[in-house]
Structure 1
Amino acid sequence: MRALDAGRPGFDRFIIAAADTVMERSTASLMAEYFPDVEVRRELGEHETLLGIDHAREVLGYDPRYSWRAQH
């Protein structure tokens, strides 16, 4: 509901996803193997998602309730 009450004109877009991944390998390891030419601009958490959920966190106060890691 915060998206409806934001009081901002126009529209915005958000990615709503878990903050982590279901993968057993670390995110950095997967990046190195599958996207070797992509620059990693900051340190990644061990199983941090590569989906950009920061905008939803900042604007909507989004805080993922569930973790892929907790389910396994």
Structure 2
Amino acid sequence: MQQRTPFAAEPKIREARVKVGMTQEELAKQLGVSRQTVSNLEHGRTLPNLAILFLIAGILGVAWYTLYSEGGKNDG
């Protein structure tokens, strides 16, 4: 995983996870990572590689490109 850059889009992973009623711990277990890693991904402290991004999307039942919005929190 990469460190967040100032140009990174705002993650929508938490929103998608909560929508399906899954905890960070449950998502972490399915991904094979720690709960802290999921938290870091949700807060944009780290960015997932494409394999993890596709896996998260599959687990949460969303399109991979919906997990990040361009422009961050001010994106309408």
The answer to whether TM tops 0.5 is no
More helix by share: 2
Alignment TM-score, normalising by the size of structure 1? 0.30
Alignment TM-score, normalising by the size of structure 2? 0.29
Higher CA-based Rg: 1
